Amino acid sequence: MKRRTVPLLLALFLCVVFRAGADSRDVTSVIGMELKSAMDAFGFPQSMFSFRGTDESRDDVVFYYPDHMYLFWYKDRVWQVRWDRRSTTGFRGLTAGMSRQEAEAVVKERPLVESGDSLYFDLVTGSFPVRVRLVFAGSSLTDIYVYRSDF
């Protein structure tokens, strides 16, 4: 076996073993993860890019994984996780493509706060406040964001 093949096979193995699926782990434990822990859990991202927020001073580094999961970094910790409309994994029973009515039925936390095209709800966690944003296009769930709400 050629020397270049071994790292490729190892990377493929890590992607399969540590597939970044939301339902396979409690995503609230991902919020606040340091780089080494995230790499141990999810392996190398498929790509990495910067993302400018609404404020010019607010640039994030984002890791993108093949199952359409994104880890947003602030300094050296994950502060937000996102799944886009292409994701086939889910978060607490929520999956892209669900109707708004189905999503509301799945969410046990209350209150659900509506703002524009989104529904928000808070999760009870021990370390810091965590909020979930469900984004809809029409009545179809397109994006799921889980993030520290104290940022």
Q: What pLDDT score does 25 carry?
A: 56
Which residues, listed in sequence order, are joined to residue 115 by a DSSP beta bridge? 118
Alpha-carbon 50 to chain mean position: 16
CATH number at residue 38: 2.60.460
Start-end of H helices in the chain: 5-17, 35-42, 100-106
Q: How far is the C-alpha of 90 from the C-alpha of 21, rounded, in Å? A: 7
Q: How far is the C-alpha of 91 from the C-alpha of 144, rounded, in Å? A: 8
Domain count within the chain: 1
Cis peptide before 129 (omega within 30 of 0): no
Q: How far is the C-alpha of 59 from the C-alpha of 150, rounded, in Å? A: 17
Domain that holds residue 58: 5-148
**pTM beyond 0.95, yes or no:** no
Tens digit of each residue's pLDDT (9 = 90 or more) over 51-63: 876 677 777 899 9
Q: How far is the C-alpha of 23 from the C-alpha of 19, rounded, in Å? A: 11
Output DSSP code: residue 99: B
Contact 78, 72 (CB under 8 A): yes
**pLDDT of the chain along its 151 residues, tens only?**
444 433 333 333 333 333 444 444 578 889 999 999 999 999 999 999 998 766 777 778 999 999 999 999 988 999 999 999 999 888 899 999 999 999 999 999 999 999 999 999 999 887 789 999 999 999 999 999 999 998 7
Residue 4: phi and psi, rounded to 5, are: -70, -25
Q: How far is the C-alpha of 13 from the C-alpha of 41, rounded, in Å? A: 13
Which residues, listed in sequence order, are joined to residue 90 by a DSSP beta bridge? 95
